[in-house]
Each structure stands twice: as structure tokens, then as C-alpha cells.
A and B are shown apart, each in its own frame.
Chain A
Amino acid sequence: MQPLLLTFAAFCFFGAFNRWLLALGLAAGISYLGLRGWSLGRLPLVGPHDTIAFFAVSLAAMGLATRLSRPLRSAAWFNAAVGIMAGIFGGLALIFPVRSMPMPAILDTLWFELHVVLAFFAYALFGIGAIVSAGWLAVRDRSLMDIQFKTALAGWSFFSASMVAGGIWGYYAWGTYWLWTPKELWTSILWLFYALVLHLRLKGAKWDVLSAWLGVLGFVVTLFTYLGVSLLMKSSHSF
């Protein structure tokens, strides 16, 4: 199965200039996740390898979906950036060992799967938003800020739904919908951060520069929430 993930990473990274190669890479990535899920008998969402692979495939999928919007249809830079980003994370997933352990009973619930899947869709959209923000900073085309707003809003919506699912899961699993762990704190920080980004939009075009920089910074906060907390901080709530 690993060659499929390698194909995904390679097609995304080296074929980033071409949307069809990116689409082929995405097909390989989805096939990898599907086969891995089939072999495990569940969604592959536990451990660094599986979650980073899921994140990378989500990035490519959200990137291709965002590319359908009019201002990005002919933007080769966007295609390249999405492909490189997805390829890097696909490659990173390959570094971590593949663990095929049975699902701990505490994670064996639909609420956990919903929580994680929705969170990764949100992370991916925040990543796409960062690319679009960087693009706006380079070319200053206002239509890009509309797309940045849409990706932030859609990502924030997925993330909010993920938090709701996580709260329900936590209530049944731990007896509380909220635990004071670094992961949960950073999850709240990320949610509040994007609430800020969305509200900043109401200030109008004069604030686009700050909005764009926050769009880029948002992905740094996203990566810290996802990877930084798990790798650098002690938290019972990590991969």
C-alpha cells in the first residue's frame, strides 16, 4: 500500500504545475486511505502516519475543489502551491511508522471519527486559505480575498462542527465535554483566531493586508494546534 502514498506525494510535489497530475495524485491518495481503512476495518485516523496522510489528501482535495472558483481556474501558482504543500505532508507521513493496532475502545465511536475527519477538512481549508492569502499579498487581486473569506468560513464551519462532535464524544467518553489540556486550549485558540479573521472582514477592504497576513498566520496556528501540541507539549489529547 505504501507505494500508493508515495505516488500521491510524488504526483502532488512534482506534478504540482498540472492540475491533472494533481488529480491523479489525489486519486492515488484516496485509494491509499481507502485500502488502509479496508485493511484496518475503520477509518485510518489514529497515529501520526495516518493522520498526516489524511491531512495531505484533504489538502489536495480541498485545493482542487477551491481551484474550481473562477479567479483560480487559470492560476498556475495556486495549483503549484497546493501540490507542493500536499506533497510535503504526504512525504512527511511516510517518515512515520505505519501502525496497524486495533482501535482502543475509547476511540471506537462515530463521534470520534466525525470529530477528526471534520477537523482535518478544516485544517486543509485553513491551509488553502493561507495559500490564497499569500497569493493576494503577491498580486493584490481583490477576488482572492473573497476566496480567502470563503475558505476561512468553510474551514471555521467544519472546525466548529468538529468541536461539537468532539464535545459529544468527550461527554460520553470522559464525562465532560471539555478538558483543560493544551490540545483543547489550542483548539479554542484556533477557533477564536478564525472568528477574528472572519469578523475582520466586516472592516472592509482597507484591512485586507492584515486579513491576508492573518490568513497566513492562521495556518501556522493550525500546524501548531495539530502537530506542535502533539510533538512539543504534554497533552493526553493528541495522536
Chain B
Amino acid sequence: MKRLWNLLISLEVGLVLLALVCIVMGAGSFGLSGDVATALNSMPLFVWLAEFSLATTWWLWLTIVLLALLALNTLCCSADTVFQRFSSNAILAWLPPQLIHAGFLLIVLAHLQSALWGFKGAIEIPEGAGFQLPDGAAVQVARVGAIFSPMGGDRPLGYKALLVTQETAGQGGVTISPNHPWFSNGYGVYIKHAEPGQPPVALLEVHREPGAAMAMAGAVLFTIGNLLLLHTRSRSREFMLESDEA
């Protein structure tokens, strides 16, 4: 049991896993193009993994296994440090890396959550028509338009659409544009493109990222830990340099 624990908290194991994840992801990146890549970004990860053959997906399966082991190694290392040093006064010496680890673990969990229970859908819809979100909410696309630079030019910088729903009807609808989606019950409606015509047609995407909140929490924890680590490490180095000189 002790040997297994030592293996789980081993720094060497962590280093090897980090190196292997880099190598496997690097190898996989060279095959990530064409229809396979398009499909990967148009559906949740585990749906894609189930749909394509192992000859295409091997590197991502391997990455997931290695990341799972790395997450376990991270969790065990942090648990070991917290158990051993919890009562020590030098909290700033051991806490920042554990916050970074906690942030990393939350982000990995967030990816897993989105990969399992996420939703991605696309729809081409003419102005004036409507569609339903997966939860049944009705959305009408009242207007489709383009965004042009105030300095002129005939190429649009982006597109916009006026959406009218039961929620937004009171305020005359809500306009979506790049970086300004509309959210309802965890679903986000995004405008990707539009084609002029009579009527103009919008390409909309509907996404659900159940891991987004957890990823944000992880990012906040990670950033706090990172800032504390920078603060403590720079102070300890300066102290060491001054001690050396003394």
C-alpha cells in the first residue's frame, strides 16, 4: 500500500506523464485537419470519440488516459502535502502550489463535464423564421444584418441578428453579434455567418458548456495560487541573494 502511495505521489511519475502528454498531443496535432477536425469541433468530445474509428481517435484516447493519471498524481501530491504540512505556520510556502493544482484539477473536470454533457448544434435560418432550443424554448429570428466598419468598406466585419423569445419579447428582442451571444437556461445562441438575400439567412450555433462555471472557478483558483506563488518565490529568492551577500 505504501509503495502504491509513493508511486501516486511521485514527482518522477508526474514528470514522465507531463512529457508523455506533450508527445502524444503533438503527434495527434499533425493529423487534426479536414472533416475529422471540423467534426471534432461540432460535437461534444465523447460523441466524436464514439463516432470515429480508433485509427483516428487513438491519440485523444491516450491523451485522456494520461491526463487522468496526471490528475490523480496531482491530487495525491497535493493531498500528501496538505496532510503533512497543514499544521505548519508557513502556509504561504505550501498553499500556492496546492491552489494551482486545485485550479488545474477543476479545469480538467470542467473539460470532462463538457465532453460528456455538452451540446453543439448549428442551424441555417432565414430572417422571420423560428427554431426551438433543445429545452423547448422558441426563438424567432426577427432580423439578420451585417456589421460594417464606420470607416467604410464593402466587406462586413461581422454579422448580427435580432432574436425574439418569450423572455425577450417585452424589450423588443435581443441582438446577438460576435462576442455578444444570448444565453437562456445554459444554452448560448451565437451568430457565425449570414448570407444576403431575400430574405437573408443566418448561420446560428447553439452551444451548451456545462463545464464553463467550473472552468471559471478553476481559473480563478489557479490565478490566485499563481500570483501568491510569484509573490513568495520572488521574496524567497531576494532573501537568498541577500543572505548570500551577507
Instruction: Answer yes or no: B111 CB below 8 A from chain A CBs.
Output: yes
A66 CA to B84 CA, complexed, in Å: 36
Contact B181 A199 (CB under 8 A): no
Q: Is A234 a contact partner of B111 (Cβ separation < 8 A)?
A: no
B65 within 8 A of A: no
With A172-B179, A196-B15 as known contacts, state yes or no: A234 contacts B190, CB within 8 Å: no
Report which of B33, B180, B230 forms a contact with A233, defined as CB distance below 8 A: B33
- In the complex, chain B residues 135-169 whose Cβ is within 8 Å of any chain A Cβ: 147, 149, 151, 153, 157-159
- A-B CB proximity, top 3 nearest: A105-B158, A175-B207, A102-B149
Residues of A189-224 whose CB lies within 8 A of B: 189, 192-193, 195-196, 199-200, 202-203
- Are A160 and B212 in contact (CB-based, < 8 A)? no
Interfacial chain B residues near A164, Cβ < 8 Å: 219, 222-223
Residues in chain A near residue B240, CB distance under 8 A: 146
Residues of A within 8 Å of B14, CB to CB, are 199
Q: A157-B230, A172-B179, A188-B25 are in contact. List 17 more A-B contacts (CB 8 A).
A: A104-B158, A108-B157, A150-B233, A153-B233, A161-B226, A164-B223, A172-B180, A173-B178, A174-B190, A175-B207, A176-B41, A176-B114, A181-B32, A189-B22, A193-B18, A196-B22, A203-B11
Q: Do A167 and B219 touch (CB < 8 A)?
A: yes
A153 to chain B, nearest CB (A): 6
- Does B19 sit within 8 A of A, measured CB to CB? yes
Residues of chain A lying within 8 A (CB to CB) of residue B188: 175
* A164 to B216 alpha-carbon distance, docked (Å): 8
Contact of B151 with A102 in the complex, beta carbons under 8 Å: yes
The chain A residues found within 8 Å of chain B, CB to CB, are 70, 102-106, 108-109, 111, 146, 150, 153-154, 157, 160-161, 164, 167-169, 171-182, 185-186, 188-189, 192-193, 195-196, 199-200, 202-203, 229, 233-234
A192-B18, A199-B15 known; A102-B157 Cβ under 8 A: yes
Would B30 and A180 count as touching, CB distance under 8 A?
Answer: no
Closest to A232 in B: B30
Contact of B32 among A102, A182, A192, A196 (CB under 8 A): A182
Shortest distance in angstroms between B158's beta carbon and chain A's nearest beta carbon? 3
Residue B90 at the chain A interface, CB threshold 8 Å: no
**B71 CB to nearest A CB, Å:** 13
- 1/0 per residue, CB under 8 A from A, across B94-115: the answer is 0000000000000000010010
Contact call B179/A108, Cβ cutoff below 8 A: yes
Chain B 209-236, CB-CB to A under 8 Å as 1, else 0, gives 1001001100100110011011001100
Contacts of A199 in B (CB 8 A): 11, 14-15, 18
Tell me if B177 is interfacial: C-beta within 8 Å of chain A: yes
A160 B178 Cβ-Cβ under 8 A:
no
Q: Which of A164, A167, A172, A233 has the most CB of B within 10 A?
A: A164
Which of A104, A161, A175, A200 meets B205, CB within 8 Å? A175
B19 engages A196 (CB within 8 Å): yes
B118 → chain A closest CB, angstroms:
8
Whether, in the assembled complex, B85 has its beta carbon less than 8 Å from a beta carbon of chain A, the answer is no
Closest approach, in angstroms, between the C-beta of A63 and any C-beta of chain B? 18
Chain B hits for A172, CB < 8 A:
179-181
**B37 interface residue, CB < 8 Å from A?**
yes
Q: Taking the nearest CB of chain A, how far is it from the CB of B246, in angstroms?
A: 14
**Do B21 and A105 have beta carbons less than 8 Å apart?**
no
The reply on B28 being an interface residue by CB < 8 A is: yes
Closest to B215 in A: A177
**A-B contact list, 15 entries, CB within 8 Å:** A150-B233, A164-B222, A168-B216, A172-B180, A175-B190, A175-B205, A175-B207, A185-B25, A185-B28, A186-B29, A192-B25, A193-B18, A195-B18, A196-B19, A199-B11
Q: Tell whether B241 is near chain A: CB-to-CB under 8 Å.
A: yes
B3 contacts A by Cβ under 8 Å: no
A160 touches B222 (CB 8 A): yes
Which residues of B lie under 8 Å from residue A177 when comparing CB positions? Answer: 209, 212, 215
Pair A173/B179 contact, Cβ less than 8 Å = yes
Considering the chains assembled together, what is the distance between the CA atoms of A172 and B179 in angstroms? 5
Measured CA separation A74–B223 after assembly (Å): 34
Chain A proximity of B170: nearest CB distance (Å) = 24
